[in-house]
Homo-oligomer: A and B are copies of this chain.
Amino acid sequence: MINKVVKNAEEALKGVENGMTFMLGGFGLCGIPENCISELVNLGVTDLTCISNNAGVDDFGLGLLLQKRQIKKMISSYVGENDEFERQMLSGELEVDLIPQGTLAERCRATGAGIPAFYTPAGYGTEVAEGKETREFNGKMYVLEHAFDAQFAFVKAWKGDTAGNLIFKGTARNFNPMMAMAGKTTVVEVEELVEAGELDPNQIHIPGIFVQRIFQGTAYEKRIEQRTVTPKS
């Protein structure tokens, strides 16, 4: 068994530098690597390119890095919950590459799976396809999309073991599994770190082979963006 455990976020983020490209898991604020983001703020690294489905809200998630102007470029599918983001983008301070959500997910998977490029119908005929190769298969048009190249992937899992095996919970799974597969160095923070052998090998979502560093996260806030409820009758 190959042990992947590191002590904390500080140790987990060793090697992080200005100008790097990162992947960050999460959908909205659900399943984001809170501890890793805090440590990126602490480190003060700048000129970052961040691949993440969303860009957080003004005062949480990737919004914290945007506030401090640590991000040079965002690669996302939806960024509609963040005023500071919109301001930086419209003023030209922030580069933004918006790509379809399914294409984003599949490009992450391709990166981890050694697939350099694939065809998808998403975005054909729109500005997303501008400058890209298009091709017809069985009478339908598709766009050629490529794998990413990211030095670090920051991933949040529910449970993990010392061998780096991961289990996610609910819809906090989202982009985390494919990003775990895709990072040159994949850093995982978990709510509960257990010994190898405690997780059912048949129920592991991401095998430890994809994970370079894993640590027990602390002080999870797990903020809810839209608290919608059915009143007690």
Interface residue from B113, B142, B169 paired with A116 (Cβ < 8 Å): B142
A90 within 8 A of B: no
A230 within 8 A of B: no
A106 and B116 contact, Cβ closer than 8 Å, known pairs A169-B202, A202-B170: no
How many of chain A's residues touch chain B, expressed as a range? 20 to 34
Q: How far is the CA of A117 from the CA of B140 in the complex (A)?
A: 12
Q: How many copies does the complex hold?
A: 2
A121 within 8 A of B: yes
What is the distance, in angstroms, from A201's C-beta to the closest C-beta of chain B?
A: 9
On chain B, the residues within 8 Å of A169 by CB distance are 202
A contact set with B: CB distance below 8 Å: 106, 110, 113-121, 137-138, 140, 142, 146, 167-170, 202-203
Q: Lowest 10 CB-CB distances: which A-B pairs, in order?
A: A116-B137, A118-B118, A117-B119, A203-B203, A115-B118, A116-B119, A116-B142, A169-B202, A117-B137, A115-B119
